[in-house]
Chain A
Amino acid sequence: MKRSLSRGTTLIELAVASFLFLIVLGLTSSALTAGIKNYLGVRGEIELQQDAIVMLSRMAREMGEADPAATWPPPVVESELTPPPGQPVGVVFSSARDNQGKLLLDFDSKQPIWQKRICYLFDPAQEKLLRSVDPLTVPTDSPPEVDLAKTTGWFREARPQDPMPGRVRSFTIKVGKDTDSFNLDIQVSGSSLGRTTTLQFLGHSTMRG
């Protein structure tokens, strides 16, 4: 009987080839899994970033248009802006923008005509930064004096509040080298697929009102 010249695959060769194939497959699948995990993590981080950037830039812009003399709690150089005990962490300042967002200036002097007080306060229970507005009874061309009754606590109790987007972990304002210079620190967090991401945004605002 004539034997075939073509040689088959031995069991050992098959086992080695399968082993190598499994290693390559493992590497491929781990790369894919890591890629998907990264994509989901980045997507979550983007949402957090959008929220925090909106909060930070809006607050910095509004504070930049305010007058330091009309700010509550009174700013103390190089220290945290800390309200008295019992009052929520936050800041109250004046604004010369009307309800349509238009900056009102005196026609002759080009000085702002102050319209309202704005309060940003942090509610740790809700994990939210809240924005609240109190219109002045009579708009004035000189910055309104600090009203010691209109604290962050008063705004929380007496005025409607708009929650800013995002889950805020902490919010602090530190006064810089001058009383018109403020360092803003907002931390937002979120979790997905067992991974917790915390983003800390540090910004600055100089009151030029």
Chain B
Amino acid sequence: MVMALFLFAILVPLFAGIWPIHKRAVSQSQAALSGNHICRQVLEECLTSGYDGVDAMAGTSLEDRTIQLISRREDRDGGTNTQTRTFVWSVEIKTRAEEPVLLPGEKLVIARVDWEDQGETRQYVMNTILAEAP
């Protein structure tokens, strides 16, 4: 009896403590996945813009670089949960003058996505190199 109560007293608070951690982890991973998708898509847009057009991607306004995502979840029992997140992406282009490792005719494209998560700023960064067409 004592043993059972002892185990119970340990396990129940343990499970109760896991819940908020689990919820926070799920929420953080969802935001990280969204950031990853946006970053990858921005990088693909840079590749589509090509060597000459990629500089224009770096110069877009903050308004154009902001994506707001509102997710609403409705359960069968009518419960709803709404979450709003704002992602800001940016593109930085570096040439050989700033990045000596680059070869002539190459540009380093750095795509970044920033978002706020539980009061902290998170960031996702992806890089690629674009070469001038022959």
Which residues of the partner chain B approach A41 to less than 8 Å between Cβ atoms? 73
Verify B33–A46 contact, CB threshold 8 A. Answer: yes
Q: Which residues of A163-209 have CB atoms within 8 Å of chain B's CB atoms?
A: 181, 194-206, 208
Verify B48–A27 contact, CB threshold 8 A. Answer: no
Verify B37–A49 contact, CB threshold 8 A. Answer: yes
| Contact partner, A197, options B12, B26, B56, B73, Cβ 8 Å | B73
Rounded to whole angstroms, the CA-CA distance of A156 and B56 in the bound complex is 32
| Contact partner, B64, options A31, A64, A101, A197, Cβ 8 Å | A64
CB of B26 to closest CB in A, whole Å: 5
| Contact partner, B67, options A38, A181, A202, Cβ 8 Å | A202
Q: Which residues of B28-86 have CB atoms within 8 Å of chain A's CB atoms?
A: 29-30, 33-34, 37-38, 41-42, 45, 48-50, 52-53, 56, 60-61, 63-64, 66-76
Binds A, one of B3-11, B102-110, B124-132: B3-11
A45 at interface, CB cutoff 8 A: yes
Task: Please classify how large the interface on chain A is, using the bins under 10, 10 to 19, 20 to 34, 35 or more.
Answer: 35 or more
Which residues of the partner chain A approach B5 to less than 8 Å between Cβ atoms? 20
Which residues of the partner chain A approach B53 to less than 8 Å between Cβ atoms? 103
Which residues of the partner chain A approach B64 to less than 8 Å between Cβ atoms? 60, 64, 204-206
Rounded to whole angstroms, the CA-CA distance of A41 and B75 in the bound complex is 11
Which residues of the partner chain A approach B49 to less than 8 Å between Cβ atoms? 61, 103
Interface SS of chain A: helix
Which residues of the partner chain B approach A111 to less than 8 Å between Cβ atoms? none
B1 at interface, CB cutoff 8 A: yes
Rounded to whole angstroms, the CA-CA distance of A60 and B57 in the bound complex is 11
Q: Which residues of B97-116 have CB atoms within 8 Å of chain A's CB atoms?
A: none
Rounded to whole angstroms, the CA-CA distance of A56 and B45 in the bound complex is 11
Verify B50–A103 contact, CB threshold 8 A. Answer: yes
Given A204-B63, A206-B64, also A49-B34 (CB < 8 A): yes
Given A20-B4, A24-B8, A206-B63, also A197-B72 (CB < 8 A): yes
Q: A residues within 8 Å of B by Cβ?
A: 13, 16-17, 20-21, 23-24, 27-28, 31, 35, 38, 41-42, 45-46, 49-50, 53-54, 56-58, 60-61, 64, 101-103, 181, 194-206, 208
Can you report 11 A-B residue pairs in the complex whose CB atoms are below 8 A from each other?
A45-B71, A46-B37, A50-B37, A54-B41, A195-B76, A198-B72, A199-B70, A202-B69, A203-B67, A206-B61, A208-B56
The 6 closest A-B pairs by CB, nearest first: A194-B76, A202-B68, A200-B70, A17-B4, A198-B72, A20-B8
Given contacts A24-B12, A194-B75, 18 further A-B contacts (CB under 8 A): A17-B4, A21-B4, A27-B12, A31-B19, A42-B26, A42-B33, A49-B33, A49-B69, A50-B37, A53-B38, A56-B67, A57-B38, A61-B45, A64-B60, A102-B50, A197-B74, A202-B68, A206-B64
